[in-house]
Amino acid sequence: MNGAGRALVQVRGLYKAFGAVTVLHGIDLDVKEGEVVVIIGPSGSGKSTFIRCINGLEAPTAGRITVEGHMAEAGNRKALDALRSDIGMVFQDYTLFPHLTVLENILLAPRLRGRLKGEAALRRVMELLDLVRLPHKAQAYPAELSGGQQQRVAIVRALAMSPRVMLFDEPTSALDPETVADVLVVMRDLAVRGMTMMIVTHEMGFAREVADKVVFMDGGKIIEEGPPAQLFGNPQQARTRAFFGKIL
């Protein structure tokens, strides 16, 4: 949780259209190494599309995204794969493979990519399961876990690829209220350990406490960005004030 360092993620003039409908209207954003950026905004404002562009799940219509020197830009599909290898993503639906144990779920992708091998792999994964407070669930199947526990496994699965940046798209929105806090605690721990994170969430308490920067999006644009104290306490834009006026 610090603002120092160089920009790890650079977004410049990002546009995204689906057919004739433009959903992102020119987004510029820098995320520095170790920074935690929380993205908030009304439903349909383009938050997921923005995150999916950063992860290379959607190709930009115009503009460019650079992560750790890997660049994705309009019309360059190949670059997206390189971009993706530095990025971990956690979605609202945690989508673990039901027929694999927790351990197998976590080891699947790194093994396929040759990123983790043998004993060292197991040690690393057990460390990560410790971090999310689930070392005792390594041999469990997803159906034996609560939603919050499954989401914490999904976080470990992403971390096992040693990403430089973690993206979260409403990671707690599908969870029972009593398991939300456990996931937020894990995300806060990651922030404290210096992980660079971009998080779409409606958890305003979490944003206030953990974010270095809050970004308010509406209508496919960044309307305002700044430290939580500004966005929550003294928003500069009328649309930001209107949004917070409704939800706080």
> Can residue 77 be called a binding residue for ligand ADP (CB under 6 A)?
no
> Can residue 46 be called a binding residue for ligand ADP (CB under 6 A)?
yes
**From the CB of 140, what's the least distance to ligand ADP, in Å?**
31
Type of residue at 222: I
**From the CB of 170, what's the least distance to Mg ion, in Å?**
6
- The dihedral through the CA atoms of 93, 97, 98, 102 has a sign that is negative
Nearer residue to ligand ADP within complex by CB, 47 or 152? 47
**From the CB of 55, what's the least distance to Mg ion, in Å?**
13
Asked if 228 and 208 count as a contact pair (C-beta separation under 8 A), the reply is yes
From the list 10, 48, 101, 196, which residue makes contact with ligand ADP (rule: CB under 6 A)?
48
From the list 3, 5, 13, 18, which residue makes contact with ligand ADP (rule: CB under 6 A)?
18
The backbone torsions φ and ψ at residue 74, rounded to the nearest 5 degrees and listed phi first, read -50, 130
- Of 166, 55, 157, 67, the C-alpha closest to 116 is 157
Cα distances (angstroms) measured from residue 227 to each of 36, 224, 239: 10, 10, 17
> Can residue 49 be called a binding residue for ligand ADP (CB under 6 A)?
yes
Q: Which helix (H) or strand (E) holds 209?
A: helix 204-210
**From the CB of 122, what's the least distance to ligand ADP, in Å?**
37
Residues engaged in binding ligand ADP (CB under 6 A): 18, 21, 23, 41, 43-49
